[in-house]
Amino acid sequence: MSGSVQLPQPGLGTFRLQDDIVIASVKSALELGYRHIDTAAMYDNEAAVGRAIRESGVPREEIFVTTKIWFDRLSDDDAITALQESLTKLDMDYVDLALIHWPSPDNEVPMAEYLGALDKAREQGLCRAFGVSNFTIAQIDEALGLPCGKRIATNQVEVHPLLANTKLVQHCQSKGIQVTGYMPLAVGKVMDEPVLQKIAAAHKATAAQVALAWVASKNIVVIPSSTKAAHQKANLEALRITLSADEIAQIDQLDRGERVANPPFSPKWDQ
Name the nearest CA neighbour of 82 among 71, 93, 92.
71
C-alpha torsion 73→63→52→43, nearest 10: 30
Question: To which H or E segment does residue 29 belong?
Answer: helix 19-32
**Burial letters for 64-101: b for 16+ Cβ neighbours within 10 Å, e otherwise?**
bbbbbbebbbbbeeebbebbeebbebbebebbbbbbbb
CA 3 to chain centroid, in Å, comes to 15
Which three-class secondary structure string do you get for 168-204? HHHHHHHCCCEEEEECCCHHHHHHHCHHHHHHHHHCC
| Active-site residue, selected from the candidate residues 34, 43, 114, 182 | 43
Name the nearest CA neighbour of 133 among 165, 162, 108, 161.
165
Active site residue 43: yes
- 162, 186 Cβ separation under 8 angstroms: yes
- 96, 40 Cβ separation under 8 angstroms: no
> d(Cα 66, Cα 58) in Å, to the nearest integer?
16
> d(Cα 62, Cα 83) in Å, to the nearest integer?
21
The one-letter amino acid code at 34 reads Y
DSSP 239: T
Active site residues: 43
